[in-house]
């Protein structure tokens, strides 16, 4: 695997060279790091290096975490100059925000903000990771890894429920309204194929994956572009052009302030493939994102950085100037074509059901 990664990196350098012609991208303007499984004491140890690189911390927070230890950590992070965005999770209810738990996430949002107010903690952002419920995601990943395309399609179609989708969407709209009313901004994180669902104005793909995203007044969006994870899911080799291809669409739709999440680094993560071991891969993905006009990048994860040689080397790889990247990925186009075809079939089905010619 290491030798293969070196070969990919070397090949990437070769194809970059003729496209560069002396052109460099400026460094990212906003850098963030996700932390999911580390203890607060383990994260605290790395606050100085995060501050040195101007990196925000996206910290997983669960209901059981609302205690004095979290309060002390947030105070320490503020003193260290590290901005923390709580990344809300409900481990007992599918972990990530989706159709199954929209009401529970709305309640947890209020509970967290009440706790923050009671403890004198200023909160600027809440992060909502919009993904299928964990059990559903596991079933999808297993079917995909076995090459059972028919089973994948059957599974996602079984989750098609427009009425349930609309109800969850309304709850999530109310949730973000509640958060805004308290002077807090809401950030949404979503999967790349949700971006492919936005062009025709209907939420068919979002409905299939139980992930309402559009028509909610998010203050910032981030799109998950974990190359090796999606390589494993689709069974296709993906170059940094995968990041570039989606980043271009994200930039066109949401502008320079949209974010891409890249990684994964090393192994830690739920339903993520074994990740990068060489920081050069992060540099390539940052290059692809910056070349598409994206200014904000987040790295998953701090957990993996610690296991794969230390936090400093990974932040350094994401922080500097990068060469311009101008090469598309044919497999990224194939993936997007597949979701576009599925969306088109659903549109035809909708027309038949509604009697529209």
Check residue 18 and give its pLDDT.
Answer: 40
Q: Mind listing the pLDDT tens digit for each residue in 243-268? A: 999 999 999 999 987 999 999 999 76
Q: Which has more confidence, 315 or 267? A: 315
Check residue 272 and give its pLDDT.
Answer: 78
Q: Which pTM was predicted?
A: 0.91
Give, in order, the Cα–Cα distances in Å from 262 to each of 33, 245, 287: 10, 14, 11
Q: Mind listing the pLDDT tens digit for each residue in 187-197? A: 999 999 999 99
Answer yes or no: is pLDDT of 12 > 90: no
Check residue 323 and give its pLDDT.
Answer: 86
Mean confidence (pLDDT) of the chain: 90
Q: Mind listing the pLDDT tens digit for each residue in 166-185? A: 999 999 999 999 999 999 99
Q: Mind listing the pLDDT tens digit for each residue in 102-128? A: 999 999 999 999 999 999 999 999 999
pLDDT band at 349 (very low <50, low <70, confident <90, very high): low
pLDDT band at 7 (very low <50, low <70, confident <90, very high): very low
Check residue 348 and give its pLDDT.
Answer: 65
pLDDT band at 146 (very low <50, low <70, confident <90, very high): confident
């Amino acid at each position: 695997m290491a030798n293969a990664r070196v070969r990919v990196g070397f090949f990437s350098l070769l194809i970059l060279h003729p496209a560069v012609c002396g052109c460099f991208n400026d460094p990212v303007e906003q850098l963030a790091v996700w932390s999911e499984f580390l203890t607060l004491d383990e994260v605290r140890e790395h606050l100085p290096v995060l501050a040195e690189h101007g990196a925000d911390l996206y910290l997983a927070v669960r209901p059981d975490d609302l205690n004095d230890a979290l309060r002390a950590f947030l105070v320490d992070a503020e003193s260290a100059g590290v901005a923390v965005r709580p990344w809300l999770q409900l481990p007992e209810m599918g972990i990530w925000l989706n159709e199954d738990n929209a009401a529970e996430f709305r309640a947890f949002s209020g509970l967290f903000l009440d706790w923050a107010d009671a403890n004198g903690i200023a909160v600027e952002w809440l992060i909502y990771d919009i993904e299928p419920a964990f059990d559903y995601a596991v079933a999808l990943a297993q079917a995909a890894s076995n090459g059972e395309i028919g089973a994948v399609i059957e599974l996602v179609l079984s989750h098609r429920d427009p009425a349930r989708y609309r109800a969850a969407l309304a709850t999530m709209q109310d949730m973000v309204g509640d958060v805004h009313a308290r002077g807090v901004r809401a950030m949404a994180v979503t999967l790349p194929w949700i971006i492919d669902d936005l062009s025709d104005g209907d939420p068919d793909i979002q409905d299939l994956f139980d992930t309402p995203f559009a028509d909610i007044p998010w203050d910032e969006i981030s799109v998950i572009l974990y190359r090796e994870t999606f390589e494993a899911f689709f069974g296709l080799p993906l170059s940094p052009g995968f990041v570039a291809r989606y980043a271009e669409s994200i930039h066109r739709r949401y502008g320079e302030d949209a974010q891409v999440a890249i990684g994964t680094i090393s192994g830690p993560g739920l339903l993520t493939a074994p990740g990068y071991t060489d920081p050069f891969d992060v540099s390539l993905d940052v290059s692809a994102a910056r070349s598409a006009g994206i200014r904000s990048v987040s790295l998953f994860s701090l957990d993996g950085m610690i296991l794969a040689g230390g936090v400093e080397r990974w932040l350094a790889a994401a922080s500097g100037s990068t060469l311009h990247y101008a090469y598309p990925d044919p497999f990224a186009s194939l993936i997007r074509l597949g979701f576009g075809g599925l969306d088109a079939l659903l549109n035809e089905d909708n027309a038949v059901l509604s009697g529209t010619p």
